[in-house]
Amino acid sequence: MTTVGMLGLGRMGSSMVRALAASGHDLVLWNRTTAVAEQLAKEVGGRVVVRPADVAAAADIAISMLADGRAVAAVYGGPDGLIAGARPGTVLVDCSTVPPAVIQGHEAAIRATGAGVLDAPVSGSVALAERGALTLMVGGTDTDLALARPALEALGSTIFHLGPLGTGAAMKLAVNTVIFGLNEAIAEALVLAEAAGIDRAAAYDVLAASAVGAPFVGYKRAAFLEPETTPVAFALDLAAKDLRLIADLGADVGVPLPQARTNLQVIELASAAGGGARDFSAVAEHLRGGRSEEEDATA
Ligand SMILES: NC(=O)c1ccc[n+]([C@@H]2O[C@H](COP(=O)([O-])OP(=O)(O)OC[C@H]3O[C@@H](n4cnc5c(N)ncnc54)[C@H](OP(=O)(O)O)[C@@H]3O)[C@@H](O)[C@H]2O)c1
């Protein structure tokens, strides 16, 4: 069985570790806040190391799942970084949602060590990650994907190889334009139905059973209907980060993306009004508040 390293043990990274542990992989764990790694190792096993370089030295496949491009730069670079510990035979796989340029910028340094590299961002949130049921969008070479495949298959059986390094990251941003569109559309439809006198849960069930009943609509049910008691799966601030990346990629490749730009405005307003650590389904609460204010203004 391959030894798999995991760097970044936030909501997604820790859930992915559970799936890797369930599939019997030996684990090496690193997180910026070491206590998080130690707690997770107590629950699922695995060896905790103190530097990203130690992960690359010990693991066949080193998977990073980090907040943003700055975090990837901090973890990959420097004397203690992942690249410093990389060796021939290791494959470094970045699953973070970041612009294509982030992993492309590290490619030459990684290849110089003899290690392989892939970008493999994921679609699906915490619940799917824990079950090993994510969809992975991979950029990189066939050879590196063949080496990493046993570990990636523990994370999800739907693996798309889209082309050279960076294409996985670009595809992830394209998928997220739809996710944020759906999130905003559900919020608007729900608030509209409620305001027109329809029970919130009944309205949600109709959406889920209708032609728009995508898997996302199904698994966000609790977040939209019981926001106070449902754990955060994807924070508003991370959604804003992704929408800025989407807008930037659109600008780079000359595509205007009016829907994504509108979503960014709504997510930023929701974040400013109630805190960016809430789940991004909180745009519905924001729209309810907005409606009342508008009503007040016109009353
Ligand atoms: N949540 C979802 O539903 C979802 C779905 C698909 C993709 N994603 C993407 O997956 C990635 C992780 O998301 P998440 O929800 O797991 O976020 P999260 O819970 O906020 O975890 C972020 C992780 O990044 C680490 N980190 C942040 N800044 C760092 C830095 N400067 N140096 C080193 N480590 C740093 C954090 O370490 P500490 O513990 O030390 O803070 C933590 O391990 C993001 O790119 C997100 O867009 C998320």
pLDDT digits (tens, 9 = 90+) for 102-131: 999 999 999 999 999 999 999 988 999 999
Q: What is the pLDDT of residue 290?
A: 56
**Crossing angle of helices 236-253/167-195, nearest 10°?**
120
At 16, list the tokens.
């992915």
The CA–CA distances, whole Å, from 286 to 55, 124, 169, 191, 290 equal 42, 24, 30, 10, 6
Q: Which stretch of DSSP H or E encloses residue 27?
A: strand 26-30
Which atom number of ligand 1 is nearest to the Cα of residue 98? Answer: 45
pLDDT of residue 157: 87
Task: Give yes or no for a contact between 61 and 91, defined as CB atoms under 8 angstroms apart.
Answer: yes
Residues in contact with ligand 1 (CB, 6 Å cut-off)? 8-13, 31-33, 36, 65-67, 70-71, 74-75, 96-97, 122, 125-126, 233-234, 238, 242
Residue closest to 238 by CA, chosen among 32, 66, 106: 66
Q: Which helix (H) or strand (E) holds 29?
A: strand 26-30
Percent of the chain with pLDDT over 90: 94
Any idea which residue has 């508008």 for tokens? 294
Query: Could you identify the atom of ligand 1 that is nearest to the CA of residue 15?
Result: 16
* pLDDT value, residue 93: 98
Structure tokens at 225: 């209907």
* List of domains in the chain: 3-163 (3.40.50.720), 170-298 (1.10.1040.10)
Q: What is the mean pLDDT of the chain?
A: 95
* Average pLDDT, integer, range 195-208: 98
Single-letter amino acid code for the residue at 25: H
- Rounded alpha-carbon distances, angstroms, from residue 212 to 181, 189, 207, 215, 222: 12, 11, 6, 9, 17
Q: What is the dihedral of CA 145, 149, 151, 156, to 10 degrees?
A: 110
